[in-house]
Amino acid sequence: MKLIVGLGNPGRKYVGTRHNVGWEVLAGLARQCGGGIPRERFQGEVVEVDIGGQRVLLLCPLTYMNCSGASVQPARDFHKIENGELIVVCDDFNLSLAKLRFRPRGSAGGQKGLQNIIQRLGTEEFPRLRIGIGSPPPNWEAANFVLSKFTEDERKSMDVTVATAVQALRDWVSHGIEFCMNQYNCI
């Protein structure tokens, strides 16, 4: 089994915000793969899907972004998933809008949800897919920016990026991280 985690914040007011792009990608993946109604487990919403004959657990933590590890670690441990079979999908304001970046491991790079997962798992050795949400405008605090909604033009770009990320995750399940880095990091 593989585990794909999409980071975001629960609640109506966060729907469509930059910080919830991880959830958007998992929702698209669940729809495309015929996932059923999400169940609440591991302090998150969980859907099990089949991708190319591989069982995949999709997890959206309901713990709020900064405590995502409290959901990810129990799910990983319960299903005995190796760190290389887990990928975290999150926003990144250090990447240009709509840019995808796969990494096999690494630091949190300022992403608080990712930082909490690293702390809870005790390692940086797991793949991640970062999705560029653009940089905060001058005089904006990063926290306010990530909780803001995309402009109409940005939303059009992000809709394409979310669809691309869904396909990219299917490729990760079937072909692995190196394939995805070569295919998607240059787009």
Residues annotated as part of the active site: 19
Name residues whose C-beta falls within 8 Å of residue 53's C-beta, 6 or more positions apart in sequence.
Answer: none
C-alpha distance from residue 2 to each of 56, 70, 86, 139, 141 (Å):
5, 18, 6, 41, 36
Direct distance between the N- and C-terminal alpha carbons of the chain, in angstroms, rounded to an integer: 29
The torsion angles phi and psi of 88, rounded to 5 degrees, stand at: -110, 130
